[in-house]
Chains A and B, each alone.
Chain A
Amino acid sequence: MLKLDNVTKVYKVGAFGGKVFAAVDGVSFDVQAGEVVSLIGESGSGKSTIGKMILGLASITGGSITVDGVPVKPGKDYYRHVQGVFQDPFSCYNPVFKADRVFRMIKEAYYPQVGEKEWDERVRSTVRDVRLDPDQVLGRYPHQLSGGQLQRLLIARALLLDLKLLVADEITSMLDASTRIDVLNLLAELKERGLGVLYVTHDLSLGNYLAERTVVLRRGTVVEMGVTGKVFGNPLHPYTRQLLSAVPRLHSPWEDAAPMQTCHYHENAASGAMFEAEPGHLVACAQLDACPQ
């Protein structure tokens, strides 16, 4: 359904945009209907940039992004089916409007024919789905809500639409463990009903819990991707291994992975250099000594 083909994003940085910087560099992957794909990778690796391009919030420098074969086309029809929930909820709300105004705007734009009462009930039940009490949160201004409450209102807003694809950028990061599991289970149910989800997360255990497939991004390129169990169970790229070793675990101290060694060839090569290490498991460079270059 969602397909990224050799996508590149170049930002101009520095005074007067003198320098260029490739935040995303030749990324290809897809998300099927009814599938959760998790996108993981270090800070600054381009995850949000990919999300923004899918939502038409950032231009695409090269390559193509399509949803059901149609290129990204920001506008009402597109947003009816494709929505994003981003990292910092405060920047998504206008602070002078009450939080439920975002729901009102959805109704006015997309469901003018729905009766007030029915709409109200829909909003309340969606708000309950994200484990919030409508009486407690509706009617408040954004600054009157906690971080996790705001984050969940944004999820609820997206869910009110007739969604096919949800780009979820770190949406569970501000939730306590119990609420988080409830929200993840909700996503899982929606997925079973056909929703495609691009789930950007840094919490590998959550990605593992929910996602069918995992894409590991580093410095704008994909270093490893495939079936989640294979990528996590048999991580081949040194970067993936490093990430896994940094996961904090409750009952054991942090492992200290050996400093990551990089393959000079693939460090510089385009991501076209991926090869299939086993069925359903692609890696940019399996082992330094085994590098075909």
Chain B
Amino acid sequence: MSLQVDDLRVYYRTLKGDVKALDGVSFSMEDGEILGLAGESGCGKTTLGKSLIRMDGRMRHIGGTVELDGRELPIGDDRRMNDFRFREVSLIPQYSMSAMNPTRKIGRMVRELLRSRGATLDLDELESRLSLVELPHAVLDRYPIELSGGMKQRMVMVISTLLDPSLLIADEVTSALDVSTQKAVARALIGFRDAGFVKSMIFVTHDLALTSHIADTIMVMYAGKLAEKAPATAIVKKPRHPYTKLLLDSLPEVGVRYTDKRLAGIAGSPPSLLDPPAGCRFRDRCPIAGEECAQEPPMAEIEPNHFVACWKA
């Protein structure tokens, strides 16, 4: 097993109280697994990624453990995490394209970054990885501003995996890409896994169709908790959690037009994470909610490898 997360709780401290962005999340990943992570905007996906690599000053590790390749990650200890970052766990952050230092040419930036980690640059290796994501070698002589959004995104992807981390967290890395580049990047990610540049990967995205093509498993979060986790095909073909079902229903198939058929999102909005209600967090919006839903539904394995947190699944 590559990753084992147990009852992870991470809150943000704010003036109004704690934002319970991760409130008891447990799952595991096998070696070589690509896990697609989806869910409502603001449900805690980025927080999960950040927790596994670097907590910012306002994040608090309230409870739970994370084990990577049999070793416990000291996620609450910023300094001890330094031994793991980049080498063992690497993150391609959401909007990483705006995070590149604008005053450095890309080649120089890569060299400096590697040096700061005590590694040297293998130019041949770098070039072969650039070509895997279809970037010309000339990008190394450019400044970040001279690249389009999609080019920067692919550059960051190459940089983050140069030291062959065990776990890669890719947060919305394809969201800004056109479909053909998206396909190329998605396949490159699979290629990175197959080539052993990364052992396993968490692929955060809103694009369920895309995830279904590259992920082995899909995990759906809702308001700081897990709703459902199952093999990708099961999520797409036989979703069991009402939230997953409604989410899939709000996808326009190619061909549907606003003027012909007006799609609707899921009515209502997710609960505040400052003071989330007891019981199932989807209750207010759930079309089949019942009495029992006032109690929190546990995550249950209703079929092999198919986990759902819903009383009525």
Contact = CB atoms under 8 A, between A and B. Distances in A.
A209 B256 contact: yes
A88 interface: yes
Interface of B: 12, 14, 19, 38-42, 46, 56, 58, 94-95, 97-98, 141-142, 146-151, 172, 175-183, 186, 206-210, 212-213, 236-237, 246-248, 250-258, 262-266, 269, 272-274
Given A144-B14, A177-B208, A249-B209, A48 B183 contact: no
Interface in A135-160: 135-136, 140, 143-149, 152
B249 to A, nearest CB: 9
Contact of A11 (B146, B175, B255, B264): B146
Contacts of B46: 146-147
The 6 closest A-B pairs by CB, nearest first: A43-B150, A148-B41, A44-B148, A178-B265, A182-B265, A173-B175
Interface string A22-55: 0000000000000000001111110010000000
Interface stretch (A70-78, A108-116, A250-258): A250-258
Contacts of A251: 236-237
A133 B172 CA distance: 23
For the complex, would chain B's binding face be called helix, strand, loop or mixed by DSSP majority? Answer: loop
A15 B141 CA distance: 9
A106 interface: no
A256 B206 CA distance: 23
A248 B212 contact: yes
A250 B208 contact: yes
Contact of A232 (B208, B210, B247, B254): B254
Contact of B272 (A135, A176, A202): A135
A173 B176 contact: yes
27 contacts: A13-B146, A42-B180, A43-B181, A91-B95, A91-B98, A140-B14, A144-B58, A146-B42, A147-B94, A148-B206, A152-B41, A170-B175, A176-B38, A176-B40, A178-B250, A179-B40, A182-B265, A185-B262, A188-B258, A202-B177, A203-B179, A204-B254, A205-B255, A209-B258, A243-B179, A250-B212, A251-B236
A143 B56 contact: yes
A148 B177 contact: no
Contacts of B146: 11, 13
A125 interface: no
Contact of A185 (B12, B98, B149, B264): B264
Contact of A88 (B58, B97, B210, B246): B97
A91 to B, nearest CB: 4
B272 A136 contact: yes
Given A177-B250, A247-B209, 19 more contacts: A45-B148, A87-B149, A88-B176, A91-B98, A145-B42, A149-B42, A170-B176, A173-B176, A176-B40, A177-B251, A179-B41, A185-B262, A205-B251, A205-B253, A205-B255, A208-B255, A229-B257, A246-B182, A250-B208
Contact of A248 (B183, B263, B269, B274): B183
Nearest to B253: A205
A20 B258 CA distance: 41
